[in-house]
Every structure is written in C-alpha cells, then in structure tokens.
A and B are shown apart, each in its own frame.
Chain A
C-alpha cells in the first residue's frame, strides 16, 4: 500500500452535526486514510461509530442507527437494529465534559450475527473544541449500565483519551 501522503487529495466528506455514522476503521495500520479491505474482512471486524455532536447551552448530543444482518435473510426479525444516542455536558470552551453517555437500544434478533455486532471504538470529531484534552492524557472511568435494572452496572476500568 502506498504511503498516504503520496495519495491524491481526497474528497471532503463531512459528518452532519447530531448524526452518528457507522464506519469501518478509517485509520487502519499502514495507512492513515484507508485500509485494504475486502467484504470478508468487513464481516470479521467490529464496528466504529463516528460522532459529531451538536450543542446547546447545556449539552451536546447526537443520534444514529446501525442495521446488521446476514445480507441474505428476507425476515426483518432476523437482523439487529441499533438505535443509539450520545450526549455529553456542554461546559465552557476547553473544559472537559464531566460525563459522556452512549445509549444503545437493540431490536431484532438480539444475538450475534457476525463481528459487526461488536463495538470497536467511538470516534468523536472536533474533540479539542469540546474540551476533550488530548495533551494531558487524562483518564476517565467507563462503565456499562443496563436498562434492565436486575443487572448490575459493569465497570470497564479507566480509559484514556487517544488521538
């Protein structure tokens, strides 16, 4: 694969505010822009969510959807639909948000179809403007909270901002 800096200029593709977008890894090893991918690779790898939140005085939000199925079925119950929302508290410019919440509501099969049902990472655009300070490498605690209150919250430990 050629070095990315040798590539011709790319088109400008921009996410709309408030919308979440489902991508395969845009910065895979060996090339900052694109990875060599096949449909087999795509089915065997997890999904990234790309977010550009829109802010009002109190919070920044985005929402979106992802649909995964085996590509063959005609039965709409045999697919997984993920409706997700994102929110973080809007503070002064450059001040890191206190909390970030991703809510995912799943309908359909609710069982693994392929690796696309797994979340790889969440990428937030314009993070510096949102006060997500990459320079300090601050850590944040991450937990999964279930809508079903019979299940206890599960801590995922600390996470560090990454560029």
Chain B
C-alpha cells in the first residue's frame, strides 16, 4: 500500500479505484463529447461508481441458494448507491434447469437490472430452450412463465423509469430492504430475501429460494393490495398489516 505510482500517487489512495475511474471517464466522454446517455455495466467498483454506471453481482451459481442471495446482493448495491444492479438470471456457473430458470426470471423481473447470463459450456438457458417444459398439471410452458415475467417488468417500466430518474437527480435507492421505509418495525429486519420495497410505492413479496407451497412474508402496518389480483372478491386482493406489522402466509410460486 505504500507503493508509489509513476505520477507520485500513493497506491493507498488509488487502490480499487481503477474500475470506478474507468466508468467515470467513459460516462463523461459520452456525455460531454457525444451528448449521449450511457448504460455502463462494471464489475469493478468503489464508492461513488453508481453515479456513472451500473453493476451486476458477478459469477453466481445456478442454484436456489444463489437466487436467494441475489436479493440481498441487489439490496446491498442499492444501499451503496449503485441503483441499477442485478444478478445473472438463471445462474452463471453450472447447468440451470427449466424450473429454476422460470422462477429466477419471475424474481429477476423486479431487479432494477435484469439480464440472463451464462458461462461457456453450460447447458443453454435462453428462454426458448424451455418451450417444451410444462408446468406440472397445467398446459403452461416454462417459456410462458418467463414471457409473463418479462411482460410484468414492462408493465412497471414507467414507474421504474420515474424512480430511476428521481434517484439520478436526488440520490436514494430503489430495490431496498423494508427497514428503510419501516425502521420501527422489528419484522422489517427479518426475511430480507423475501420482502423488498421497490422504491417508495411498491412492496414485493416473492419466494426467492427453495420452492415451497406457502411462505411467510412480512407486511408492515397498513393496507396492502395485490396489483395483479383481478379475480374474485376484491376483499381477497387486500390484506391489512396490523400495528407493528404482521407475518402473512401466502401461496407462493409454483405450488405443485
């Protein structure tokens, strides 16, 4: 750390800054000389990089565990000011499968940055690879489920764009833990991988790890209605988080 660079800069002052400086300079060149916005994805970063670029979580494994880790990973980046973050959907290392990939797409639709990414020599994991894999006891294919996840992202794109614009100007976070918005509720500090605030307006409850028929999610105090709920009695679409919040058991993804 006491090494000195050619221009006299101490290594202590420059260590880990290379990635951030590269993103900073690339961003500024496009903005200043080309008058263009940038979409730069960097693997190396340091504090402050989020102002200029985005990040993915690096090489993950195609497993339930890594899908669950991704939630807190994206949250961590948002807490650190790198808002546009996401993990490799379907997993990068090792072979994925139709079930895992479809569930990961469903989760990944809510990452700020959603991308399927695969390593060489693994089984292919493009969505169309799962066109013949059927969700048990239905006529729905895993490709249908993946398509549905992609459409859900587009349904929310105006909200996401608005929130990202606000954050770009004023700072803040998008994919964040419940305790950011509900710091006085003890339950907001538990089950981070299941409960996510998407900006100030939406709360996501999603199974991110091993499959389960039902899962306990945390709902802060107040009234919560399911944006996708269109069938049945309206009362069935809304629940009330009691004083101090509450756990609510809900049927989760792929309950076969």
Q: What separation, in Å, do the CA atoms of A46 and B32 have in the docked complex?
A: 33
The reply to whether A23 and B140 contact each other, CB–CB distance below 8 Å, is: no
Q: How many A-B residue pairs have CB under 8 A?
A: 166
CB of A21 closer than 8 Å to a CB of B: yes
Number of B residues near A (Cβ < 8 Å) is: 61
Pairwise interchain contact B151-A13, C-beta atoms closer than 8 A: no
Q: Which residues of A contact B207 (CB under 8 A)?
A: 11
Contacts of A116 in B (CB 8 A): 158
Bound-state CA distance A91–B119 (Å) is 59
Q: Digitize A78-92: 1 where CB-to-B-CB distance is under 8 Å, 0 elsewhere.
A: 010000000000000
B193 to chain A, nearest CB (A): 13
Q: Which of A8, A9, A65, A116 has the most CB of B within 10 A?
A: A8
**Chain B contact surface mostly:** mixed
Interface 1/0 per residue, A8-21 and B, CB below 8 Å:
11111111110111
Pairwise interchain contact B228-A10, C-beta atoms closer than 8 A: yes
A8–B222 CB distance below 8 A: no
* Contact yes or no, A26 B227, CB < 8 A: yes
A32 neighbours in B (Cβ, 8 Å): 230-231
Describe A's contact surface by its main secondary structure: loop
Contact in complex: B151, A65 (CB < 8 Å) = no
Give the chain B neighbours of A67 by CB distance below 8 A: 161-162, 165-166
Min CB distance, A137 to chain B, in Å?
Answer: 16
Say yes or no for B29: interface residue by CB 8 A criterion: no
Is A35 positioned at the interface, with any CB of B under 8 Å from its CB?
yes
Q: Please indicate the chain B residues that have their CB under 8 angstroms from the CB of A7 in the complex.
A: 140, 144-145, 148
B159→A14 contact, CB < 8 A: no
- Residues of B within 8 Å of A19, CB to CB, are 200-202
Which chain B residues have a beta carbon within 8 Å of chain A's beta carbons? 31, 35-37, 102, 106-107, 110, 135, 138-140, 144-145, 147-148, 151-152, 154-159, 161-162, 165-166, 169, 181, 197-198, 200-207, 217, 219, 222-228, 230-231, 234-235, 237-238, 250-255
A sample of 28 cross-chain residue pairs with beta-carbon separation below 8 angstroms, ordered by A number, consists of: A2-B139, A2-B144, A7-B148, A8-B140, A10-B253, A12-B204, A13-B226, A15-B227, A16-B222, A23-B158, A24-B155, A27-B230, A32-B230, A34-B148, A34-B155, A37-B151, A37-B155, A52-B223, A54-B223, A65-B162, A66-B158, A67-B166, A68-B158, A69-B165, A71-B37, A74-B37, A126-B238, A128-B234
